[in-house]
């Protein structure tokens, strides 16, 4: 029997990645006035720098902003103007200020699941930004708890389960990222409901979960989430 249901936030409940992709494209446009974009491999260099900085800076828009500034200085060999650095900082601030726009049918889906199970929002990244998004989403009253973690790995999911006193096979995690939302939970013995989003950050594309995993269900609209969660419970009960 399922006892606890976790929801991811970014690109599962509300739009997020599109804002980062837009900032990345604008970053290229700014740097492109100094260097040949193809020769400089601007996008690849930015992604490599983001991944290098993850351990030190963590996830989120502030980390991306610092990394964009660092990469712009490196790619232009220090020639980038203070005015353009200012533009890059503004790109990062725009991500932090974007409105929280829920994906279709999300509120009804969370309400339905919350009527039957304890629900927890588990999101990663910058604490201040994530807290603001949760508050603006209007969904915070539906969750029993909100967990903002630095990394979505087995250790941190395990901690959440221990705090609720729940075994992994009584837990379902719902999210758009196989790497962050599904794989670590399934590895612990839990269940996953994968809701793919139309764009995914390259870093999140790397995962080790095979297609058609017996404890993972895929849905394409939030309205299908309650049914998928019920299937997890049914399958778990039959084992
Ligand atoms: Mg997400």
At residue 58, the pLDDT reads 87
Question: Could you say which of 3.80.30.20, 3.30.210.10, 3.50.50.100, 1.10.150.240 is the CATH number of the domain covering 17-97?
Answer: 1.10.150.240
pLDDT band at residue 71, thresholds of 50, 70 and 90?
very high
Kindly report, as residue ranges, where domains of CATH 1.10.150.240 are found in the chain: 17-97
Ligand 1 centroid to residue 12 C-alpha, Å: 5
Name the percent of the chain lying above pLDDT 70. Answer: 97
HEC profile of the chain: CCCEEEECCECCCECCHHHHHHHHHHHHHHHCCCCCHHHHCHHHHHHHHHHHHHHHHCCCHHHHHHHHHHHHHHHCCCCCCHHHHHHHHHHHHHHHHCCCCECCCHHHHHHHHHHHCEEEEEEECCHHHHHHHHHHHCCHHHCCEEEEECCCCHHHHHHHHHHHCCCHHHEEEEECCHHHHHHHHHHHCCEEEECCCCCCCHHHHCCCCCCCCCCEEECCCHHHHHHHHHHHHHHHHHC
Ligand 1 centroid to residue 29 C-alpha, Å: 26
Ligand 1 centroid to residue 56 C-alpha, Å: 21
- The CATH class of the 4-15+100-238 domain is alpha beta
Ligand 1 centroid to residue 174 C-alpha, Å: 9
Q: Which tens digits make up the pLDDT trace of 153-185?
A: 999 999 999 999 999 999 999 999 999 999 999
* Average pLDDT, integer, range 85-89: 98
Give pTM, 2 decimals: 0.89
Kindly report, as residue ranges, where domains of CATH 3.40.50.1000 are found in the chain: 4-15+100-238
């Amino acid at each position: 029997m399922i006892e606890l249901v976790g929801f991811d936030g970014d690109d599962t409940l509300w739009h997020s990645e599109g804002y980062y992709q837009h900032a990345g494209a604008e970053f290229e446009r700014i740097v492109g006035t100094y260097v040949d974009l193809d020769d400089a491999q601007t996008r690849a260099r930015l992604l490599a720098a983001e991944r290098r900085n993850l351990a030190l800076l963590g996830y989120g828009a502030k980390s991306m902003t610092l990394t964009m500034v660092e990469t712009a200085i490196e790619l232009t060999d220090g020639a980038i103007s203070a005015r353009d650095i200012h533009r890059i900082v503004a790109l990062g601030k725009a991500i932090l200020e974007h409105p929280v726009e829920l994906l279709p049918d999300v509120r009804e889906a969370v309400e339905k699941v919350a009527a039957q199970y304890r629900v927890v929002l588990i999101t990663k990244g910058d604490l201040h930004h994530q807290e603001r998004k949760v508050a603006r989403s209007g969904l915070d009253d539906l969750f029993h708890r909100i967990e903002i973690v630095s990394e979505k790995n087995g250790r941190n999911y395990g901690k959440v389960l221990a705090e609720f006193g729940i075994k992994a096979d009584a837990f379902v995690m719902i999210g758009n990222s196989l790497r962050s939302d599904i794989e670590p939970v399934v590895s612990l013995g839990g269940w996953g409901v994968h809701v793919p989003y139309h764009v995914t950050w390259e870093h999140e594309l790397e995962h080790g979960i095979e297609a058609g995993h017996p404890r993972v269900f895929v849905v394409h609209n939030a309205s299908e989430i309650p049914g998928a969660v019920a299937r997890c419970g049914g399958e778990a009960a039959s084992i």
